[in-house]
Structure 1
Amino acid sequence: MKKLILLIWFAGIAAVVYAEDVLITRFGAKPDGHTMNTVAIQKAIDYCYNKGGGRVIFPKGDFLTGTIEFRDNVKLHFEKDARLLGSTNVEDYRNVDPFTEGLGIDVGWALLVAVDRENIGIEGYGVIDGQGSALKAAHILKDTRPEGQRWGRRPFLLRVVRCNNVTVKDISLNYAGAWTSHYFQSRNILIQNVKIRSVGVAHNDGIGIDGCQKVAISNCDVVSGDDALVFKTTSSKMACKDITVKNMRLKSNQAGIKMGTESMAGFENIDIKNCYIYDTKNGGIKLLSVDGARIKNVTIADIKMDDVRTPVLLRLGSRLNVFRKGQDQQQPTGYFENVVLKNIKAVSVDSTQLKSATGILITGVPNHKLSGVTLENILIELPGGGTAEEINVNVPEAIDQYPEVKTFGPVIPAYGLWARHVKDIKIKGLQFRLRSNDLRPALFLQDATNMLVRDAVIPATEDAASTVQVKQSANINLQGWKVYGSIRSLIVTDEASRSQIHLEKNRLPREQNLFQ
């Protein structure tokens, strides 16, 4: 029944009738790459709207413009070899819906913007190019503020705000001045066969879904300077909900798939599958609730990652920011519920954000344990190289800080999985591989309750003190482990936790002690 409803919904989007095709050149647009066409293109869109809707056609050529606004029932159609070029002058852009992003910067300027519209879209095999590097070069000649403050003045490539029935398909989105595409509090969105190449300046997120519902994303190829596919909730008033993602290629200078950091409302009923993440500089999969979000009924499955830094980070924190000042209020700390990561294979690069690489980080805060997570059939290859001294490090709590892997670094006391302030975590089928020796344990648990780790495969290491370290924890179940090599003890633990560790059907080296 659910699949039938989705099919009917998509058919409804496809069935919207557009009355007329309107060429932008009819209204004076020049395809020379130099003439400012903002007025001409907007006239074509407005004319099409006043005629009851239709397609605004961008023919072959280079069309330079500033901010363009969508109208109801109008699609922008790009013929092959048509290019829409963003102006390199920031004064040619408007901010129709201002807000503050996760670093506290005022943003919202955009090249293409739709606010409170319906039945809109972008289609065709052309290119929308924000000329981000040239835009930045011109901008910094006039704006002397530090880059961390001035970047927000530069425009997004595409902004969709409080819209219904949005289609973006087959188009190439290139070189934004800031975020590439941002969809906010909109419904019934179809993003399909989109190619993104947006690098060269900071904050070039690829696809940003911000408090949207009924979203389908598929068959996109994203190379981004910031997070490739990111879900946000910059407002508490609308969750990211009822979303499917499949068949994606994701490369990023930050994360491949991310939820948060802006995380006031929930991330619910989200299904992500069959994605390839590669060459990421700051994480593979990151699920982050630090502003009150409920991360609930989320499945991420059948994921392959190559050459990533830190494959998985799950974080529940209490930063509790408000991003739309005067329009919203601070939320209580959120939670995780029924979050499943399964069938994941990842290969870490040799050099990561951390001094020595770690595969999985899961951490709550002292009064709010991260719970409700299942990891199933996970294989991670790591470079190794960790030292015995790194086992005793105190990892920062960073309760109210911006959540990143480096926030908890530079040292993590486990090479495989580090979990702190967690409960009700189930792990089934966990395997690590090492390219060189690592003296840290494979698993480090601190303040963990009701945790099951079953069918783990632990590679051989030399001279390591233990396979597992456990501190201040209760009801820890290790079942069906296969541990290779020669380690002095399976588990190093404090006295209070020792009686709370339950072992069953584990295959260990003969000479290995159980506890130290």
Structure 2
Amino acid sequence: MKITTSSIAFSLICLTLFTITLNSCKIKEKEKEKIETDVFSEADNIISSIKVLEFPDKTFNIVDFGAVADGETNNSAAIKKAIAACTEAGGGKVIIPSGKFLTGPIHLKSNVNLHLEEGAEVLFSKNSKDYLPVVHTSYEGQELMNYSPLIYAYKQNNIAVTGSGTFNGQAGTTNWWPWCGAERYGHLKDAPQQKDAHNLPRLWEMAENNTPVSERVFGEGHQLRPLFIQPFECENVLIQGVTFTNAPFWVIHPIKCNYVRVEGVTVNSHGPNNDGCDPEYSKNVHINKCVFNTGDDCIAIKSGRNNDGRRVNIPSENIVVENCDMKDGHGGVVMGSEISAGVRNVYVRNCKMNSPELDRAIRIKTNTLRGGFVENVYVKNIEVGQVKEAVLKINLFYAIYGPQEGNFMPVVKNIHLQDINVENGGKFGVLIKGRPQSFVKNVTLTNVHIKNAETDLSVENSEPIIFKNTTINGKSYENN
């Protein structure tokens, strides 16, 4: 065999190219490992960006402004006076002491910390007229003028609701809940309800036609329930330690807010649409050490419904959920279905999810009327005792209130689950329904172990799931 100079040169070139390729692969693998290692450091950065709120060392006890703790006297005026006095003094703490205090809606102002002492219970009026005049609020992802939320702050800065007491919305089968239209919540046949033509259909039409929010007037004569606590377009918000129960509708709803901390809160409310915490059009949100036992999603991250979401066009982003306990609910941590402006950068870690009435652990729901996107969702260190339907469900065909088909193709990508143990996985370990025109992309399961699921996987219109050290029903799933 004759060896020529040209053949030696060719061999050297091939060896060099092989070495470069090998080194490039090693670099990419190291970069991938670094990304996987460092991704939750970004969650830590988000948490650090949310400053600890400070308030002047001044206190304003509502009893000093005429409040009576008999559970019957309406203390709206006394609480309003205490908040006004606190505001005029430059801020401080408005104290609700031990006892039962009946009130209408509470409107917070900048630099006010509304504090419930141990044994305090705030009972909200059952009379819908007490929640008038209407205010700028929202209903299922669409803005409108409606009944005031029970606790409301509009365009305020540095506000807090703290303490160890209870806010009792007093909603039930005789007030607020029947308006949802379900018999089990007290609705009577032929009684008015939210799906009547003068309610939700009218709001949907107004939103699609870009009717100014100031002209979308509902309230009295309509059956759209108020939110429980809604900071609207606020910055630097703290909700800490308190308990919410018997909510008319969604419970904690920061909308168009920046720098929000929800910590040590208990939501124990099983009414219709009683979502626990729904950040919407909001960013830099930390939900920590909370307990959710709800009639709907425990946490649902949202960004507007249909045309209204596209009009506002503010994605919800940079949201960290950790150390929480999810019990009853339609989902543990959910994105959607009001999601038209998109959701990105969601971090979930160190949570427990367990209940025979918990439908899913992680859920993403949208359709071609909602559109929107969900990207960069990282879930780590989750203990799941029991779910009914699926550990992970991604559904791009979500439907409610009839057909939900339109011209806005949703995009879902970069969904990562790691270090998750599931004792009873429900009907499906993983359930994904993408669309032929929009495959779900880049779903990874690393160190995920699911037991007792009726079906391991049901996956349609999705890129292949990337598995690493994952088992479902004892079967090993591993990409080679």
- TM-score, structure 1 length as denominator? 0.70
Q: Which residue of 2 aligns with 1:293?
A: 372
Of stretches 54-63 and 231-240 in structure 1, the one that deviates more from structure 2 is: 231-240
| C-alpha deviation, 1:315, in angstroms | 2.3
Asked if 1:308 is matched to 2:327, the reply is no
* 1:479–1:217 Cα change, 3 Å: closer
Tell me, what secondary structure is at the counterpart of 2:463?
A: strand
| C-alpha deviation, 1:341, in angstroms | 1.2
Equivalent AA in structure 1 for residue 107 of structure 2: E
Tell me, what secondary structure is at the counterpart of 1:156?
A: coil
5 Å matches for 1:322-333?
332-333=408-409
* 1:138–1:304 Cα change, 3 Å: closer
Tell me, what secondary structure is at the counterpart of 1:26?
A: helix
Q: Which residue of 2 aligns with 1:113?
A: 152
5 Å matches for 1:36-51?
36-51=74-89
Contact kept, 8 Å, 1:299 with 1:340, in 2: the verdict is yes
Tell me, what secondary structure is at the counterpart of 1:215?
A: strand
Q: Which residue of 1 aligns with 2:447?
A: 377
CA distance in 2, matches of 1:76, 1:275: 28
* 1:312–1:138 Cα change, 3 Å: closer
| C-alpha deviation, 1:347, in angstroms | 3.1
Contact kept, 8 Å, 1:128 with 1:174, in 2: the verdict is yes
Asked if 1:229 is matched to 2:276, the reply is no
**Aligned partner (choices 412, 431, 434) of residue 471 of structure 2:** 431
Equivalent AA in structure 2 for residue 219 of structure 1: K
CA distance in 2, matches of 1:17, 1:144: 47
Asked if 1:271 is matched to 2:347, the reply is yes
CA distance in 2, matches of 1:119, 1:148: 37
Q: Which residue of 2 aligns with 1:65?
A: 103
| C-alpha deviation, 1:286, in angstroms | 0.4
| C-alpha deviation, 1:19, in angstroms | 4.8
CA distance in 1, matches of 2:247, 2:316: 24
Tell me, what secondary structure is at the counterpart of 1:314?
A: strand
What is the root-mean-square deviation of aligned Cα atoms in Å? Answer: 3.0
Tell me, what secondary structure is at the counterpart of 2:351?
A: strand
**Aligned partner (choices 128, 145, 148) of residue 167 of structure 2:** 128
| C-alpha deviation, 1:247, in angstroms | 0.4
| C-alpha deviation, 1:289, in angstroms | 3.7
Asked if 1:205 is matched to 2:275, the reply is yes
| C-alpha deviation, 1:112, in angstroms | 0.4
Q: Which residue of 2 aligns with 1:157?
A: 228
5 Å matches for 1:179-218?
179-199=250-270, 201-218=271-288
Tell me, what secondary structure is at the counterpart of 1:42?
A: helix
| C-alpha deviation, 1:103, in angstroms | 11
Contact kept, 8 Å, 1:222 with 1:250, in 2: the verdict is yes
Q: Which residue of 2 aligns with 1:471?
A: none
CA distance in 1, matches of 2:472, 2:398: 31
Q: Which residue of 2 aligns with 1:342?
A: 418
CA distance in 2, matches of 1:156, 1:228: 15
Q: Which residue of 2 aligns with 1:89?
A: 127
Tell me, what secondary structure is at the counterpart of 2:254?
A: strand
Q: Which residue of 1 aligns with 2:26?
A: none
* 1:315–1:172 Cα change, 3 Å: same
Asked if 1:99 is matched to 2:138, the reply is yes
| C-alpha deviation, 1:152, in angstroms | 5.5
**Aligned partner (choices 93, 101, 104) of residue 55 of structure 1:** 93
* 1:100–1:196 Cα change, 3 Å: closer
| C-alpha deviation, 1:137, in angstroms | 7.2
Q: Deviations over 1:448-502 (max 9, x none)?
A: xxxxxxxx528xxxxxxxxxxxxxxxxxxx746xxxxxxxxxxxxxxxxxxxxxx
Contact kept, 8 Å, 2:278 with 2:302, in 1: the verdict is yes
Q: Which residue of 1 aligns with 2:321?
A: 245
Q: Which residue of 2 aligns with 1:405?
A: none
Q: Which residue of 2 aligns with 1:457?
A: 476
CA distance in 1, matches of 2:142, 2:384: 28
CA distance in 2, matches of 1:5, 1:97: 33
* 1:104–1:188 Cα change, 3 Å: closer
* 1:479–1:99 Cα change, 3 Å: closer
* 1:106–1:70 Cα change, 3 Å: closer
| C-alpha deviation, 1:288, in angstroms | 2.3
Q: Deviations over 1:417-438 (max 9, x none)?
A: 111111253122331228xxxx
Q: Which residue of 1 aligns with 2:59?
A: 21
| C-alpha deviation, 1:307, in angstroms | 2.1
- TM-score, structure 2 length as denominator? 0.75
Tell me, what secondary structure is at the counterpart of 1:45?
A: helix
Q: Deviations over 1:179-203 (max 9, x none)?
A: 111111101011111111112x211
CA distance in 1, matches of 2:434, 2:387: 23
| C-alpha deviation, 1:2, in angstroms | 5.6
Tell me, what secondary structure is at the counterpart of 1:25?
A: helix
CA distance in 1, matches of 2:393, 2:144: 24
CA distance in 2, matches of 1:283, 1:60: 38
Equivalent AA in structure 2 for residue 457 of structure 1: S
**Aligned partner (choices 249, 255, 260) of residue 178 of structure 1:** 249
CA distance in 1, matches of 2:165, 2:143: 34
Gaps of at least 5 residues in structure 2 are 1-40, 180-185, 200-221
Contact kept, 8 Å, 2:166 with 2:244, in 1: the verdict is yes
Contact kept, 8 Å, 2:136 with 2:145, in 1: the verdict is no
Q: Deviations over 1:266-289 (max 9, x none)?
A: 211111101111113432210224
Contact kept, 8 Å, 2:269 with 2:294, in 1: the verdict is yes
* 1:110–1:358 Cα change, 3 Å: same
Q: Which residue of 1 aligns with 2:192?
A: 145
* 1:243–1:29 Cα change, 3 Å: same
Q: Which residue of 2 aligns with 1:219?
A: 289
Equivalent AA in structure 1 for residue 343 of structure 2: F
Higher relative contact order (CA 8 A, sep 6+): 2
Q: Which residue of 1 aligns with 2:31?
A: none
5 Å matches for 1:409-428?
415-423=455-463, 425-428=465-468
Gaps of at least 5 residues in structure 1 are 322-329, 385-414, 435-455, 459-477, 481-516
* 1:53–1:106 Cα change, 3 Å: closer
Tell me, what secondary structure is at the counterpart of 1:197?
A: strand
Identity %: 27
Q: Which residue of 1 aligns with 2:239?
A: 168
Q: Return the structure number with greater helix share.
A: 2
CA distance in 2, matches of 1:20, 1:147: 43
Of stretches 146-155 and 54-63 in structure 1, the one that deviates more from structure 2 is: 146-155
